[in-house]
Chains A and B, each alone.
Chain A
Amino acid sequence: MYMPKKILVIDDDMDILEALKELLEIFGYAVVATPRAEAALQTVEKYQPDVLLLDVLLSGNDGRVITQELRQHKSTRQLPIILISAHPSAAQSAYASGADEFVAKPFDMDTLLGTIEKHLTNNTSKKKTR
């Protein structure tokens, strides 16, 4: 039975959140989109996404800090995390925090989808090798 891949999107801008949800659903993903970053770990554990798309500058939160926290937990250590930001200069610190990828806003659709796909295949083939 075909199971669509699950993507969790966390971004505090509702417009971007909605646009991303539309885009990713058109391409056949199951999307959970939330502006709330406070309980990221619980959200991740609840929805068990295949990929997490996470904004860097969240109101009252920082995607890089969340990434670091997620990397501390067994259940989320190997979760592919793609950090997204309108500040291209955040790339270096994004990778340093443990993110797999960094994509600058505004994103090019092909780049974003390509990056997601790369990690979906990676995650299935190389599971538990991190």
Chain B
Amino acid sequence: MLDSDHATLTPLPLLRIIDSTPVLVAYIDAQERYQFNNKTYEEWFGKSRTSLTGKHLKTLLGTKTYQIVRPYVRAALKGNKVTYESTVPYKEDETRDIQGVYIPDIAPSGKVRGFISVVRDITEQKRVEHVLQFLTEASRVLASSLDYKTTLRRVAHLAVPKIADWCVVTIAEPNSPNEQLALAHVDPKKLKLARELQRRYPSDPKQKRGIHQVMRTGKSEVLNDIPDQLLVAAAHDAHHLKLIRQLALKSYMIVPLKGTRRSLGAITFISAESGRKYGKQDLLMAEELASHAALAIENARLYTSATQALQDRETFLSIASHELKTPITSMKVYAQILGKLLRGNPDPKISQYLRKINDQVDKQTKLIEDLLNISKIQVGKFKFEVKEFDLWQLIVETVEALQATTDHRIVIQGKPAGKIKGDKDRIGQVIINLLTNAIKYSPDAQEIIVAVSATPRQATVAVRDFGIGIAKKNLKNIFNRFYQVGNSQQKTYPGLGIGLYVSAEIIERHHGRIWVTSRQGKGSTFSFSLPRPTAKKPIKHRRK
């Protein structure tokens, strides 16, 4: 079967097959002269193939292309199979991407008699590759930063000359005129001309085609070939027409940047000197890019407004805390004056009540401080004043101050851990937070233990209570913001639930570590460690 099939194929149909492939096939002898060309050569060069036989490569290809292929020709004639890709001039002012394969024809004696040349036009394939490469790169750029103006400018510059000779990005800002974010072209002289054109002949927003129309309707516009009459129609006057003709615009497409609620702008791609003509495929690519860009713009704007909202809240809370503290300040002064005036009064209730007023004022002050602190943490304004201080001394002072306010016995164990570098007041705040928690969550216990230990690298403080403890499932959330054991319905303990969050933030900002071990019904131990000034590397964080 096969044999009989083969028989019918030779010799004439084989030539027909070679002729009908869209690939340039030729046989070139050792003197670099064509001995055979397939029919495709006729289409490519516009010459009959018989006229090519015996011609030197240089004669047909021209000096420029010959220079490009010469090294590959030499290699093939040395007996090597060569594969290469290159861009060569085509017809008058175009270029083509080609892939060439040269297969040497070697005689039994070992002498190279010539080579078979198979050259494929890969312009379209290259174009798709370029487009994909551009899309990938552009998407990466768009995702790289929240500064969408800069990223869009970079995308416009990426587009030329790979995708377009001109790329224009126009952004519609709410309540302000459109802003031309980028105008890109490889040639600065042409850029100058384009700017001049834009300045002298601004485009009419009422035009039925072009950028304004695309932004109004949200529909893309593509023109495969810009006819001269379009330029004539668009020109304001003869000088204007002369200038636009100088730009030699060939084809264009405009794609809208569509936001969720309104138009965000448009991207314009124009081809000129490259001779590129935009079609359906190009438009799909451009629309794809525009949807990425629109998303990037919206994300960036959302981020900016969210950051601004946090900032506004911080400012508000800062003012509010000041205002809230003002009446508290005079309240506290009067409570203390009363205390002084009523000192020695035989009714023990009086001093007890005054102390309660004082305590409540202090509690209120702390709540206001907590509110402000958490807001500061979120906008990155939580400031530290770093100095060396004695940790042991700080613990002793803090415990003494708190001991006066509680019936629990606070016991300090261990020994001085030396100096620590950090913000003494903030670390003190952490110790107070842990101790007040310990008091709060062990209402039926008598004792709280503060254990201090040290290694050459770090100092560790552990605050242990014998209270209600924390269920295992709650342990991992304990340092999260607004987290309180139990839910809001069954909330039994006062406070905003931010003490541990603030504490964790303080310790981590000191390159330390904070953690908890607990057993429900038995009590909890909250510990933190801080690097000692001699330690070189910070302790690794564990909180996630």
Contact = CB atoms under 8 A, between A and B. Distances in A.
Interface in A14-68: 15-16, 18-20, 22-23, 26, 57
Nearest to B328: A106
A22 B341 CA distance: 12
Interface string B308-333: 00000000001001100111111111
Contacts of B325: 86, 105-106
B383 A23 contact: no
Given A15-B327, A22-B337, A26-B337, A86 B332 contact: no
B194 to A, nearest CB: 52
B206 interface: no
Contact of A106 (B329, B337, B340, B383): B329
Contact of A89 (B328, B336, B339, B383): B383
Nearest to B364: A106
A109 B333 CA distance: 7
Q: Which of A20, A57, A109 has the most CB of B within 10 A?
A: A109
A118 interface: no
Contacts of B330: 13, 15-16, 18-19
A92 interface: yes
B394 to A, nearest CB: 17
B369 A88 contact: yes
A13 B330 CA distance: 10
A33 B161 CA distance: 75
Q: Which of A16, A18, A92 has the most CB of B within 10 A?
A: A16
Range for the number of chain A residues in contact with chain B: 20 to 34
B92 interface: no
Nearest to A87: B322
B336 A109 contact: yes
B327 to A, nearest CB: 7
B322 A15 contact: no
Contacts of A88: 369, 425
B334 A57 contact: no
B124 interface: no
Contacts of B337: 19, 22-23, 26, 109
B326 A15 contact: yes
Contacts of A57: 322
B291 interface: no
A108 B355 CA distance: 12
B118 interface: no
Interface string B94-105: 000000000000
Contact of B333 (A22, A87, A89): A22
B454 interface: no
Interface of A: 13, 15-16, 18-20, 22-23, 26, 57, 86-89, 92, 105-109
Given A22-B333, A89-B383, 19 more contacts: A13-B326, A15-B327, A16-B333, A19-B329, A19-B333, A22-B337, A23-B333, A23-B337, A86-B329, A87-B321, A88-B369, A106-B328, A106-B329, A106-B361, A106-B365, A107-B333, A108-B332, A109-B336, A109-B340
